[in-house]
Structure 1
């Protein structure tokens, strides 16, 4: 189910922000009209207008929101509609709230911001949302998905992302989505967010030199970082540059995908290891 904002068909060159809405378990099936039962599709059906595209897919009967399927779906949407790739937002309620968490953690580079409603999930990969604007909602009286689910997710996330927001509606049960999606502040906040990108910070060769050296991972893989043409690069693959970032960390860029690298200093201010934020956290200790 697709909603287009006013003006979409007038300017055929403009790219639009998009909100991807994931429904709950009760709306699964083959009748797409069921998706209009709650959340954004319901409000649109009632006449609410938004300044962005709204995509509301329907999950198959007895299935949840599968990450790889949604990845392919989003790639299809970007080829089909005039979507601003820097402003793709993900939200969902109940089962869709769980899906929002899991899909965002699986493919964080796809989204500019996420807003899970009365959901939860596995916190093992929550660190992947360290740069993601997150606004989470839950009802304090929810007896279907306990609010502890959102507390647990947010407590884990805030260790990496202190600016993540949680709103608890004191009197709401499982239908906290009514309050969340009727709150125009949510949409104002979403539209303020753009996809995170690392920005290069110029460093002198003398400053880069302290990061050079041999680093070994737990499984004994060794990486040598060297200075070459005033850049910090991987000796074994000199086309891979370890780029200093304005955020204070570093990053590498491979096939247009950014992977963060965080160096750690000991009490004497000397580099002793770095963490590579790849599909999993990988620590490389500096060989003294």
Structure 2
């Protein structure tokens, strides 16, 4: 009986936590002329931290493009939050209506956030997957002085001048079994940064045998956000954190410490994530 009551209590707490998280996720539509619509998540203790609150911008893949803002909650940080991952940051999730991510429009979202929310502008982080991985590198390379650290998953970069990427602590991760965006797309970026001496703040990992969709699990890992939060624009020399590792074995453990348990693996491994 005690065991049953404990299970019921945990279930109720999980539902209450998820409900509370929903209350702090706000859609922002048509606030930037010609710009992106987006979600803003405010952490539960936001009004106690305000100006010390970091910001995470998440850029989704092509499968979530469109004009239905609900689509962008299908995977990524907002989905992780609802499923129990505690992320102590303002989480900004724009929706790309189609085509490549536009660095200026991403910056417009960031500047709107600065005007409308108290935040720590020295701790702005960007993470993106697939098309969003391209968007992450394109944005960081264009506005390196605004980003404290960035993580690009299974993407690439369209910038002709990639030197800006060398100014930001950057972690590029790609699976070797990726059929949607070949690992070569990330390797080309790494090679260019190395050949031009812009790799002093660069980390990269090629996860052997990992598919394209498998890397979505990284968005649910606590250590992903620990790594991002360990950087600031105020860090002397802006070194990249090399003390936190992510390898293929971590993918299967991505949900273990989440309050409400693991999401449906079919959602995360859906082949339409790109």
TM-score (norm 1): 0.64
Aligned pairs for 1:1-288 within 5 A? 1-11=39-49, 13-60=50-97, 62-122=98-158, 124-158=160-194, 159-195=197-233
Residue 196 of structure 1: CA displacement? 5.8
Whole-angstrom CA distance in 2 between matches of 1:152 and 1:196? 30
Q: Deviations over 1:10-65 (max 9, x none)?
A: 45x533101100011111112111111222122122122111111111112x3331
| Contact residue 139 and residue 175 of structure 1 kept, 8 A | no
Aligned to 1:206: none
Whole-angstrom CA distance in 2 between matches of 1:115 and 1:35? 18
| Contact residue 114 and residue 132 of structure 1 kept, 8 A | yes
Residue 93 of structure 1: CA displacement? 0.6
Q: How many residues align?
A: 198
What runs of 5+ residues in structure 2 fail to find an aligned partner?
A: 1-38, 240-274
Whole-angstrom CA distance in 2 between matches of 1:84 and 1:57? 19
Whole-angstrom CA distance in 1 between matches of 2:126 and 2:214? 17
Q: Deviations over 1:47-104 (max 9, x none)?
A: 22111111111112x3331121112221111111111110000111111000001111
| Contact residue 129 and residue 216 of structure 2 kept, 8 A | no
- Larger helix share, 1 or 2: 2
Whole-angstrom CA distance in 2 between matches of 1:150 and 1:67? 19
| Contact residue 155 and residue 181 of structure 2 kept, 8 A | yes
What runs of 5+ residues in structure 1 fail to find an aligned partner?
A: 200-246, 248-288
Higher relative contact order (CA 8 A, sep 6+): 2
Whole-angstrom CA distance in 1 between matches of 2:208 and 2:46? 38
| Contact residue 53 and residue 120 of structure 2 kept, 8 A | yes
Quickly say closer, same or farther: Cα 1:176–1:50, change in 2 above 3 A.
same
- Matched residue SS, 2:167: coil
| Contact residue 96 and residue 119 of structure 1 kept, 8 A | yes
- Larger strand share, 1 or 2: 1
TM-score (norm 2): 0.67
| Deviation >3 Å, runs of 4+ | 196-199
Quickly say closer, same or farther: Cα 1:195–1:176, change in 2 above 3 A.
farther
Whole-angstrom CA distance in 2 between matches of 1:135 and 1:46? 25
Residue 149 of structure 1: CA displacement? 0.8
